[in-house]
Structure 1
Amino acid sequence: MRAARCEVHGTPDTIVIREVSDPVAGAGEVVVGVEAASVNFPDVLIAADRYQLSVPTPFTAGSEFAGRVLSVGADVGDLAPGDAVMGTALSGAFAERIAVPRSALSPVPAGLDMVHAAAFNVTYRTAYHAVTTFGALEPGNWVVVLGAAGGVGSAAVDIATRLGGRVIAAASTPERAEACRALGAVETIAYDSEDLKQRIKEITGTGAQVVIDPVGGAYSEQALRAIAWGGRFVCVGFAQGDIPRIPLNLVLLKGAIVRGFEIRTLASRLPAAVDKGRAEIECLVAQGMKPLVSEVYSLDEAPLALTRVAERRATGKIVIDISSR
């Protein structure tokens, strides 16, 4: 089978397309014929060996995919060849086939094709729990989403709007911020050219009740300074590359709650929240919710797709169509 391989840790342009052996399902595993795979920022970090977990080379890049079951191993009785599934793995998704534990898979929700299913699981589950489980969104709350034009950001705009939040989409440029209005944002801020703290206060009057931050860097503190008393600041990641140092006196003076959130460990730590979220997300999908997919590439173009995400030039999600040439 063909796969996008990381043979040495480095930048996306070091990824190469190789022929590798087909995977075989072991006990408790499923082999999926991958039809589409989405590109997430951690894929860039893993390739560069800058992620929280190190993956030794050589390996196949990619962490999120959708496709159909090809075969199942022993102890897997609830899936059969042909079933449409979506799933996640630390690596291996940018390939024609992948073997993963049964627990890594879930059915493709009705209403999503393979391209949108591949782009859905990580960003929408992350955004949902950032907004609700950790952000404690209440209808009418002002919600500031940093990096709002990115994958997690655009999903957070979508979900917060559908759950009754008044969303301020903050992105690097006016064009990227404006793209979020189609997802329901009521106001936008281009933070590379506007004063983020001042604009949040001008728009909200008293400050934002919720801030969702998948970006990090210098804008985190500005957003925290514009949070309302008792507001919730949810740290999701550091796409800008810099981990901010937050003055704790801001937290004290504002009575703010600062929470960190990482989707990888959520199921083991908060299983009830995961079950509740799964049911509510399925309801939202049935109502028409789906990811914003702005660019689709072939497997041969995987290095370019990763570069687009690394340079934060994508609006919404980038997907690799594994079947296209």
Structure 2
Amino acid sequence: LFSSRFVGINASDINYSAGRYDASVKPPFDIGFEGVGEVVALGLSASADYTVGQAVAYVKAGSFAEYTVVPAKQAVPLPSVKPEFLTLMVSGATAYISLKELGELSEGKKVLVTAAAGGTGQFAVQLAKKAKCHVIGTCSSDEKGGFLKSIGCDRTINYKTENVESVLRKDYPEGVDVVYESIGGKMFDLALNSLATKGRLIVIGFIAGYQNPTGLQPIKAESLPAKLLKKSASIRGFFLNHYLSEYKMALKHLLKMYERGDLACEVDFGDMSPEGKFTGLESVFRAVDYMYMGKNIGKIVVELPHSVNSKL
């Protein structure tokens, strides 16, 4: 039994609550995917590995709760209860495993990351830089652009003030080797067109369509086969649940990177949102809206103080 102190907000929260991951799940059901907190009670099978009061992180459906029961195998011991560790559980692991398994990164490759200042994008940027790639990141504000530069992004594109397609055509006429894509719709089409010969488009999401009834935004699919053939390019989808065998190794590596100071884990508590910091379960709804408005820099996290009495 864990007492949760921090829970993470993910774009897929809307997909899960809409039944797109498991149509057999009917309301009411618990949502949320990840948390960081402390052990408050132990079952017999967990007592050998954990102690009461120990800091832990966990990935489990239904994490939007002040207290939650988690199988020991789904928990990860931590040195302390810090929100930065939460950023690694889904977002960091997604970036690490997808780039390792699908990216084929090497020195000098050009990598375009869309939504680069978001929860997962921040890690895609840093990991690509660790691989000595040239990294381009799209974002929606100069503030986000400044953050991206601080974590090593070579070229930032504020799509509110610059035309992404024009910038890519001018600055990267031969195309980019890898696109790390999470937006969908028009950005997907643009990303596909920007690929170099033998380029790879990694799709980890399509947030632009998640709030639609179908969960999708239209793309120019009729020209897709010809475009892939012409460039010997590929599109590679990534869903974390299909790579669980790689998860613990990835998380161990990311935790070591963070503890060495080799990885920035930006957390956004919504301090600058109109109603203030995301505190308590009742603020989860605001936090999800904040993400879909594109306001966040880094991973959105909700704090659950011990003194909070949930209004849900």
TM-score, structure 1 as length reference: 0.81
Query: Which of residues 223, 229, 241 in structure 2 aligns to 1:252?
Result: 229
Paired residue type of 2:260:
Q
1:287 Cα offset (Å): 2.6
Instruction: Please give the per-residue CA displacement for 1:4-53, whole angstroms capped at 9, x wherever unaligned.
Output: xxxxxxxxxxxxxxxxxxxxxxxxxxx11111111111123333x15322
Kept in 1, the 8 Å contact 2:56–2:81? The answer is no
1:305 aligns with 2:287: yes
1:78 aligns with 2:46: no
1:78 Cα offset (Å): 1.6
Instruction: Please give the per-residue CA displacement for 1:163-195, whole angstroms capped at 9, x wherever unaligned.
Output: 322210112344433431112111011234433
Which residue number in structure 2 is paired with residue 214 of structure 1?
182
1:46 aligns with 2:16: yes
Which residue number in structure 2 is paired with residue 227 of structure 1?
195
Which residue number in structure 2 is paired with residue 61 of structure 1?
31
Kept in 2, the 8 Å contact 1:198–1:226? The answer is no
Separation (CA, whole Å) in 2 of partners of 1:233 and 1:302: 32
| Secondary structure of the corresponding residue to residue 231 of structure 1 | strand
1:284 aligns with 2:257: yes
Change (3 A) 1:305 1:103: same
Instruction: Please give the per-residue CA displacement for 1:78-106, whole angstroms capped at 9, x wherever unaligned.
Output: 22222211111122x22211112222211
Instruction: Please give the per-residue CA displacement for 1:265-314, whole angstroms capped at 9, x wherever unaligned.
Output: 211xxx2x445534432332233224211225111322211211232221
Change (3 A) 1:147 1:50: farther
Separation (CA, whole Å) in 2 of partners of 1:50 and 1:219: 25
Which residue number in structure 2 is paired with residue 99 of structure 1?
69
5 Å-filtered alignment, 1:1-325, equals: 31-47=1-17, 49=18, 51-54=20-23, 55-76=25-46, 77-91=48-62, 93-108=63-78, 110=79, 113-241=81-209, 242-243=216-217, 244-246=219-221, 247-267=224-244, 271=245, 273-274=246-247, 276-288=249-261, 289-295=263-269, 296-299=277-280, 300-323=282-305, 325=308
Separation (CA, whole Å) in 1 of partners of 2:193 and 2:259: 37
Paired residue type of 2:253:
E
Kept in 1, the 8 Å contact 2:38–2:81? The answer is no
Paired residue type of 1:292:
E
Instruction: Please give the per-residue CA displacement for 1:41-74, whole angstroms capped at 9, x wherever unaligned.
Output: 1123333x15322443223332110011122223
1:197 Cα offset (Å): 3.0
Which residue number in structure 2 is paired with residue 14 of structure 1?
none
Say how many residue pairs are matched. Answer: 287
Instruction: Please give the per-residue CA displacement for 1:139-163, whole angstroms capped at 9, x wherever unaligned.
Output: 2211100111211112211222233
Kept in 1, the 8 Å contact 2:5–2:303? The answer is yes
Which residue number in structure 2 is paired with residue 21 of structure 1?
none
| Secondary structure of the corresponding residue to residue 169 of structure 1 | strand
Separation (CA, whole Å) in 2 of partners of 1:131 and 1:197: 24
Change (3 A) 1:277 1:115: closer
Paired residue type of 2:258:
V
Separation (CA, whole Å) in 1 of partners of 2:145 and 2:228: 27
Which residue number in structure 1 is paired with residue 212 of structure 2?
none
5+ residue gaps, structure 2, are 210-215, 270-276
Change (3 A) 1:276 1:150: same
RMSD between aligned residues: 2.1
Paired residue type of 1:264:
N
Give 1 or 2: higher strand fraction.
1
Kept in 2, the 8 Å contact 1:36–1:319? The answer is yes
Separation (CA, whole Å) in 1 of partners of 2:303 and 2:140: 28
Paired residue type of 1:120:
L
Q: Percent identity?
A: 25
Range with greater deviation from structure 2 (217-226 or 195-204): 195-204
Which residue number in structure 2 is paired with residue 12 of structure 1?
none
TM-score, structure 2 as length reference: 0.84
